């Protein structure tokens, strides 16, 4: 009896301070939201966490301890030994297991009453019906492509007739001592694609640069990784965690760098480039994840105004002291996801179609690795299906103006298999 009473008191105590914030009438909440009999928004909000890595572990812990009861998490990765310094829900014996599954089990064990459903797969494996069940989506990703995909999906899901179709998207990102939190109300406020130019497209180096004129040590490493490995096949398949494989790539890259007089190729740079490692600091992740989860709590409970409608972007910089800045990022009318206008695109009319195509990889406003391209009247180049690729391939070596007959202010549409929902519209401006 005494024990039972103790447990009851502890359980009530656990949420005492959180409930105080939620149940106190302030300038931003309504009577119904703070009433004792009203529905508990934290009980009712189903929230999706994308990513169970450095940010995701923090987010799952924070959301559970903020009173969210029904959480789903998607992550396709398995736990690597190098994750253990900051992804604190994982232990040595978890190496090799699914991040989503281990993280969910850990948090459920520690925070009673929370249900976390893990999905050990890619976000692209689910369709709109899956994403419809959530009230909030929160991302702790290191991939720009995955962010763009979920952003396009959520914007596309919005049905003006149905307010429930609008899912706030909270996005956290960190790199070393820097990080950012932003909140998107799809179709209403600027989306992730509106802010695409914030990401320098460093990973998307066109193949021709790698093959012909490398300029940076990373180009030599990518050449060894993509071209030399494929030609020579020193091992049956590349294992990025096998030091012998990385050493092979490092030596190849070093030789190539010496040939072109490029300094800076090292073993650790090789490993970092091949594994696409973004330097991660546990405390930066904790700060950004904390900020993201606070926005989720504010959106769910209305206890205070969230980021989004006015200021929508918080940037944090711990490089020199501590600096944070919150500002309003503007929506772009020519955004491929939420805008309606075509984006102006400066091109040289003497470029071949191949040069135009390759420029999309490094163009900050496009960042497309496998573009297909057409005008309103004709198809210029299609990557798929193979038969169409073959028919349109001769166009690749034709010049834009003289060979293909493109004109100033011509509108072109570009598609890419990574973003099946999107068609990027551009207006050609000849230079
Ligand atoms: Zn947009």
Q: Look at residue 32 and give its three-state secondary structure.
A: helix
309 alpha carbon – ligand 1 mean position (Å): 14
The CA–CA distances, whole Å, from 216 to 92, 325, 394 equal 37, 32, 31
Task: Look up tokens 């040590």; give the residue.
Answer: 217
CA distance 70 to 113: 9
Asked if the model's pLDDT at residue 2 lies above 80, the reply is: no
328 alpha carbon – ligand 1 mean position (Å): 14
Using CA atoms of 371, 377, 378, 384 in order, give the dihedral in degrees to the nearest 10: 50
pLDDT above 90 as % of the chain: 68
Copy the structure tokens of residue 71.
Answer: 């959480």
- Which domains does the chain carry? 38-199+280-327 (3.40.50.720), 207-275 (1.10.10.520), 343-430 (3.10.290.20)
| For residues 58-78, average pLDDT | 96
pLDDT above 70 as % of the chain: 95
Structure-model confidence comparison of residues 158 and 303, the more confident one:
158
332 alpha carbon – ligand 1 mean position (Å): 6
Q: Which of 208, 220, 335, 338 is catalytic?
A: 208
Q: Look at residue 331 and give its three-state secondary structure.
A: coil
Taking residue 15's Cβ as centre, other Cβ atoms within 10 Å add up to 15
What is the model's pLDDT at position 206? 65
- Greatest pairwise CA separation for the chain in angstroms: 89
Structure-model confidence comparison of residues 33 and 332, the more confident one:
332
336 alpha carbon – ligand 1 mean position (Å): 7
Question: What average pLDDT does the chain have?
Answer: 90
274 alpha carbon – ligand 1 mean position (Å): 31
Beta carbons of 177 and 317 less than 8 angstroms apart: yes
Does the annotation mark 293 as catalytic? no
User: Which of 58, 214, 48, 224 lies closest to 138 in space, CA to CA?
Assistant: 48
Q: Which runs of consecutive H residues, i.e. helices, occur in 111-192?
A: 128-132, 144-157
The CA–CA distances, whole Å, from 272 to 2, 51, 211, 235 equal 57, 20, 20, 20
What is the model's pLDDT at position 39? 73
210 alpha carbon – ligand 1 mean position (Å): 31
Asked if the model's pLDDT at residue 6 lies above 60, the reply is: no
Q: Look at residue 273 and give its three-state secondary structure.
A: helix
What is the model's pLDDT at position 1? 42
Using CA atoms of 193, 194, 198, 204 in order, give the dihedral in degrees to the nearest 10: 40
Note the pLDDT tens digit of each residue in 172-229.
999 889 999 999 999 999 999 999 888 765 555 667 777 778 888 988 999 999 889 9
| For residues 249-254, average pLDDT | 96
CA distance 326 to 311: 6
What is the model's pLDDT at position 279? 74
What is the model's pLDDT at position 280? 83
Note the pLDDT tens digit of each residue in 12-34.
788 888 888 888 888 887 776 77
């Amino acid at each position: 009896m005494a024990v039972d009473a103790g447990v009851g008191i502890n359980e009530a105590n656990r949420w005492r301070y959180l409930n105080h914030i939620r149940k106190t009438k302030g300038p931003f909440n309504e009577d119904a939201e703070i009433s004792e009999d009203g529905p508990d928004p934290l009980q009712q909000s189903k929230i999706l966490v994308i990513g169970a890595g450095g940010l995701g572990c923090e987010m799952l812990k924070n959301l559970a301890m903020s009173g969210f009861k029904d959480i789903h998490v998607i992550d396709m990765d398995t736990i690597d030994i190098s994750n253990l310094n900051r992804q604190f829900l994982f232990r040595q014996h978890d190496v090799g297991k699914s991040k989503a599954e281990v993280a969910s089990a850990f948090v459920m064990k520690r925070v009673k009453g929370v249900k976390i459903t893990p999905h050990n797969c890619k976000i692209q494996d689910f369709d709109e019906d899956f994403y419809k069940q959530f009230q909030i989506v929160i991302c702790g990703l290191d991939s720009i492509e995955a962010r763009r995909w979920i952003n396009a999906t959520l914007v596309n899901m919005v049905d003006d007739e149905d307010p429930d179709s609008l899912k706030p998207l909270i996005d956290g990102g960190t790199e070393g001592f820097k990080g950012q939190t932003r909140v998107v109300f799809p179709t209403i406020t600027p989306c992730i694609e509106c802010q695409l130019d914030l990401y320098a497209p460093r990973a998307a180096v066109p193949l021709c640069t790698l093959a012909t004129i490398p300029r940076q040590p990373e180009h030599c490493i990518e050449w060894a990784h993509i071209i030399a490995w494929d030609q020579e096949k020193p091992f049956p398949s590349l294992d990025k965690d096998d030091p012998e494989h990385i050493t092979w790539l490092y030596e190849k890259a070093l030789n190539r760098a010496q040939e072109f007089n490029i300094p800076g190729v090292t073993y650790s740079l090789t490993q970092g480039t091949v594994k696409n490692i973004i330097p991660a600091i546990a405390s930066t992740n904790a700060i950004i994840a904390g900020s993201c989860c606070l926005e989720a709590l504010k959106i769910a409970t209305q206890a205070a105004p969230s980021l989004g409608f006015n200021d929508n972007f918080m940037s944090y910089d711990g490089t020199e002291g501590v600096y944070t800045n919150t500002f309003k990022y503007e929506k772009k009318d020519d955004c491929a996801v939420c805008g309606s206008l075509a984006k102006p695109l400066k091109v040289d009319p003497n470029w071949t179609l191949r040069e135009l195509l390759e420029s999309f990889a490094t163009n900050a406003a496009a960042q497309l690795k496998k573009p297909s391209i057409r005008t309103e009247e004709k198809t210029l180049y299609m990557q798929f299906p193979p038969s169409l690729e073959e028919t349109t391939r001769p166009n690749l070596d034709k010049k834009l103006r003289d060979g293909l007959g493109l004109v100033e202010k011509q509108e072109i549409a570009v598609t890419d298999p990574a973003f099946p929902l999107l068609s990027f519209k551009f207006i050609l401006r000849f230079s």
